Chains A and B, each alone.
Chain A
Amino acid sequence: MSVRPAPASPDPVVSAPVIRRLPAFRTEGLPMLPIAILVTLALLAVFAELIAPYNPEIGSLSQRFKPPAWIAGGSTEYLLGTDHIGRDVLSRLIFGARVSMMVGFTAVIIAGVLGSTLGILSGYLGGWVDQVIMRVTDTWLALPALTFAIFLAAIVGPSEWNIVIILGAVYWTRYARVIRGEVLSLKERDFVRLAIVAGCSKWTIMRRHLLPNVANTAIVLATLMLGVVIVSEAALSFLGVGVPPPKPAWGLMLADGKKGLMAGYWWLTVFPGVCIVMMVLAANLLGDWLRVKLDPQLRQL
């Protein structure tokens, strides 16, 4: 534990310790485990074509239900075994990282942008705008998230992009609630009053003065939400209303794996689940760390 120098001194002479502090700040206290997991998964997702040994969507039936390499009957050709139509599990897991990352991050961003915007509007404008937005938020929060998502998926049909939009539509309410509360207290603060006196328009105040101040909260929420969204995507795919086959999504792999479960083909169930848990765990750990770091007010949540 090193003692940090006093922050942001206006004296230019003090710039040296600030520079020295940077590398120390980078390594110390950063949650290495979740970052390592997320970076690994992100690299796998980006370079899937280069890393994966096989095409994830094409298998050979003669090679079906091969166990992992270290089990009797397995071969080093298929490190983690093959599934019910002879596709390589490892390759599908690697490409699955791409699906999870893509769906997870995009849905979280859509929900975050929508929810933060509505939360700021609701909190700052007040009056009937607030009433309308908050009543809708309350009602949508009352809908069980997964059931609501299934209902929407049943209407628009399963596809990778539809899932993103559906999850965005289901989860924006979580942001709107919290951000509105934040704005309610921020708008009584002096810097907002001064901005009003200075003649800033409502839009300028919301964009320049409120948005930067709720950004921390939104980022923390987004990180914590990432895990929820990834589990939801896996659940929807598992039920057959998420990412459509033969795409290699982890939830879909679990659904396929269930076919071989009673026969004892455990690798089809264990490996995709481990991937989901690792990613969600990493998101939750990072979210917890960010919460403490960025937003002391959220510590109680």
Chain B
Amino acid sequence: MRRFVLRRAAYAALSLFLLSITIFLFVRVTGDPTVLLVEPGASKADLEALRTELGLDRSLLVQYGTFVRDLVRGDFGRSFYYRTPVLELYISRLPNSLLLAAAAMVFSLLIGIPSGIMAAVRVGGWWDRGGKIFALLGLSMPSFWVGLLLILFFSVYLGWLPSSGSGTALHVLMPAFALGWYFAAAHMRLARSSMLEVLGSEYVKLARLKGLPEARVIAKHAFKNALIPVLTLAGINLVLMVNVAVVVETVFAWPGIGRLLYEGIAFRDFPVVQATVLLGGSMIVVVNLVIDLLYAVIDPRIRYER
């Protein structure tokens, strides 16, 4: 177990290292980083000061050292626009993103799991066929367009829901649905295939042989086991939702991390953009590590492989 943990942790550390080096090199190889990192309209003296601070006259290795040292200290630079450290901004927006992601997750599971299970119970039936069309649409309709259509219908025509901003439960509904839409299709597909697999297993056959009513077999024996892969995927998707919400948050002016990233582009606030990429990537690397370790705790076979 210890060897497994160490190896996985080493992989994660390597990924974080490669992540930082990727971002570092892209910023420097494509041109003069001072242009990106200095505020628009800064004086010559400011430019020179930043050059010496970044150590652009020194070797790339030394520069990378400073870059990583700052990151480890939690120094992601200062936002040009808000004039506060980027990390503070990021952390202040994180709860909003998590709230939106959680609401979107509830939506996607409420739609995805029951419809996937029903499709699996009656394979080839009208529900299954309808579900296939729904899944296809879910994967083909961009979330931000779904968002725009929702605004058009519920805010402009019906006037029921606020079109943008945050604060009340009503504000969460539309962005959560727009964000959860794509994932609902993915969860439905997985719920269906996972349920099909479970329904073909020996213990379900046994439950049927015992003479249990079909509803009980499905609800009690199959459902719980079919749920495991779906919930695992949902865990990963929750982190993904925090990081892919940029367009949906922009559409609804939802003050999360995605909106922060959009402001970063709109105000040419490069430190914000850089920090969002770095932190988003790191978040996913760390979550992948945690999931790997949890798997190993649950399933001993994984611990001993290789």
Segment at the B interface, from A84-92, A120-128, A138-146, A215-223: A138-146
Segment at the B interface, from A4-12, A193-201, A264-272: A264-272
A298 CB-CB contact with B under 8 Å: no
Given contacts A143-B277, A147-B277, A273-B142, is CB(A136)–CB(B155) below 8 Å?
no
Q: Which residue of B lies closest to A300 (CB)?
A: B193
Q: How far is the CB of B163 from chain A (nearest CB, A)?
A: 6
CA of A152 to CA of B23, assembled, Å: 9
The range of chain A's interface size is 35 or more
B244 in complex: contacting residue of A146, A266, A273, A285, CB < 8 Å: A146
Q: How far is the CB of A108 from chain B (nearest CB, A)?
A: 16
A227 CB-CB contact with B under 8 Å: yes
Q: Which residue of B lies closest to A138 (CB)?
A: B15
B139 in complex: contacting residue of A147, A155, A266, A284, CB < 8 Å: A284
The B interface is mostly helix, strand or loop, or mixed, namely: helix
CA of A81 to CA of B266, assembled, Å: 29
A69 CB-CB contact with B under 8 Å: no
Report yes or no: A273 in contact with B250, Cβ–Cβ below 8 A. Answer: no
Q: Which residue of B lies closest to A288 (CB)?
A: B136
Given contacts A154-B270, A262-B163, is CB(A234)–CB(B142) below 8 Å?
yes
A179 CB-CB contact with B under 8 Å: no
Report yes or no: B149 in contact with A277, Cβ–Cβ below 8 A. Answer: no
The range of chain B's interface size is 35 or more
B281 in complex: contacting residue of A144, A227, A254, A264, CB < 8 Å: A144
Q: Which residue of A lies closest to B20 (CB)?
A: A139
Report yes or no: A240 in contact with B265, Cβ–Cβ below 8 A. Answer: yes
What total of A-B pairs shows CB separation below 8 Å? 136
A276 CB-CB contact with B under 8 Å: yes
- Which B residues are CB-close (under 8 A) to A155? 26-27, 30-31, 36
* Most B Cβ at <10 Å: residue of A154, A239, A257, A269: A154
Q: Which residue of A lies closest to B27 (CB)?
A: A155
- Which A residues are CB-close (under 8 A) to B19? 139, 142-143
Q: How far is the CB of B292 from chain A (nearest CB, A)?
A: 12
Q: How far is the CB of B158 from chain A (nearest CB, A)?
A: 12
A235 in complex: contacting residue of B144, B149, B155, CB < 8 Å: B144
* Most B Cβ at <10 Å: residue of A138, A152, A155, A262: A155
Report yes or no: A261 in contact with B144, Cβ–Cβ below 8 A. Answer: no
Contact with B along A271-290 (1 / 0, CB 8 A): 00100110011001100000
B103 CB-CB contact with A under 8 Å: no
Q: Which residue of A lies closest to B277 (CB)?
A: A151
- Which A residues are CB-close (under 8 A) to B23? 151
B251 CB-CB contact with A under 8 Å: yes
B22 CB-CB contact with A under 8 Å: yes
Report yes or no: B152 in contact with A238, Cβ–Cβ below 8 A. Answer: no
B155 in complex: contacting residue of A152, A257, A262, A269, CB < 8 Å: A262
- Which A residues are CB-close (under 8 A) to B270? 154
CA of A145 to CA of B277, assembled, Å: 10
Report yes or no: B156 in contact with A262, Cβ–Cβ below 8 A. Answer: yes
Given contacts A139-B15, A144-B240, is CB(A281)–CB(B136) below 8 Å?
yes
CA of A155 to CA of B32, assembled, Å: 10
A187 CB-CB contact with B under 8 Å: no
Report yes or no: A140 in contact with B243, Cβ–Cβ below 8 A. Answer: no
- Which A residues are CB-close (under 8 A) to B141? 273, 277, 280
Report yes or no: A239 in contact with B247, Cβ–Cβ below 8 A. Answer: yes
- Which B residues are CB-close (under 8 A) to A150? 246, 261, 265, 273, 277
Q: How far is the CB of A208 from chain B (nearest CB, A)?
A: 33
A24 CB-CB contact with B under 8 Å: no
B116 CB-CB contact with A under 8 Å: no
CA of A261 to CA of B285, assembled, Å: 39
- Which B residues are CB-close (under 8 A) to A241? 265
Task: Give 6 closest A-B pairs by Cβ, nearest first.
Answer: A144-B243, A273-B145, A139-B18, A281-B140, A151-B277, A280-B140
- With A139-B19, A273-B145 already in contact, 8 other A-B pairs whose C-beta atoms are closer than 8 Å: A142-B285, A147-B244, A154-B270, A262-B155, A262-B156, A266-B156, A270-B149, A277-B137
Pairs across A and B, CB under 8 Å, 16 listed: A139-B18, A143-B280, A144-B281, A147-B261, A151-B23, A151-B273, A155-B31, A156-B30, A238-B144, A239-B246, A240-B265, A261-B151, A262-B155, A262-B156, A281-B137, A281-B140
